Amino acid sequence: MVESVVITGSTTVAPVVADAAKRFEENNPGIRIDVQTGGSSRGISDAKSGLADLGMVSRHLNTGEEDLSATCIAIDGVGLIVHRQNELKGLTREQVIQLYKKEITNWSGVGGTTGPVTVTNKADGRGTLEVFLAYTGLDSADIKADVIVGGNQQAIKTVAGNPGAIGYVSIGAALSEIENGTPIRLLESDGIPAVPAMVAQGKFPITRPLLLVSGGQNSPLVAEFLSYLQSEETRDIIESHLYVPVAK
Partner 1 sequence: MSRLRSDRVLSFVLNAAALLCGALVLGIVLFLSIEAAPTIFSGKISAFFTDEKWQPGSERDPQFGIFSMLLASVLITLLAAILAVPVGICGAIFRVFYAPESLAKWQDRFLELLAGIPSVIFGFWGLSVIVPFINRYHPPGQSLLAAGIVLALMILPTIALTTKSALTAISPSLMAGAAALGLSRPAQILQVAIPTARKGIAAGCALGLGRAIGETMAVVMVCGNIAQIPHSVFDPVRPVTSTIALEMGYATAEHKSYLYAAGLVLVLMTALFLLVRIRKGASQW
Please state the closest distance from residue 154 (CB atom) to partner 1, in A.
6
CB of 237 to partner 1, least distance (A): 26
Of residues 28 and 106, the one with the C-beta less far from partner 1: 106
Q: How far is the CB of 158 from partner 1 (least distance, A)?
A: 7
CB nearer partner 1, residue 165 or residue 212: 165
Distance CA(215)–CA(129), nearest Å, equals 25
Q: What is the dihedral of CA 50, 56, 59, 60, to 10 degrees?
A: 50
Closer Cβ to partner 1, 111 or 125, answer by number: 125
At closest approach, how far in Å is the CB of 140 from partner 1?
A: 4
- Interface residue list for partner 1 (CB under 8 A): 38-42, 116, 118, 123-126, 129, 139-141, 145-150, 154, 157-158, 161-162, 164-165
Cβ-in-10-Å burial (0-12, 13-18, 19+) of 60 comes to middle
Rank residues 27 and 62 by Cβ distance to partner 1 and give the closer one: 62
- Residues present in the chain in total: 248
The least distance separating partner 1 from the CB of residue 161, rounded to whole angstroms, comes to 4
Nearer to partner 1, 154 or 218 (CB): 154
Report how far residue 115's alpha carbon sits from residue 166's, in angstroms, rounded to the nearest whole number.
12
Query: What's the sign of the alpha-carbon dihedral 19, 27, 236, 202?
Result: positive
Which of 149, 186 has the CB closer to partner 1? 149
Q: Could you tell me the smallest distance in angstroms from the CB atom of residue 122 to partner 1?
A: 9
Separation of alpha carbons 32 and 92, rounded Å: 46
In terms of DSSP H, where are the helices of the chain?
Answer: 14-27, 40-49, 93-100, 127-136, 152-160, 171-179, 196-200, 220-229, 235-240
The Cα–Cα gap between 104 and 21 comes to 46
Closest distance of CB 153 from partner 1, Å: 9
Q: What sign results for the dihedral spanned by CA atoms 177, 181, 184, 185?
A: positive
Type of residue numbered 227:
S
Alpha-carbon dihedral sign for residues 192, 134, 212, 247: positive
Output 111 or 150, the one with its CB closest to partner 1.
150
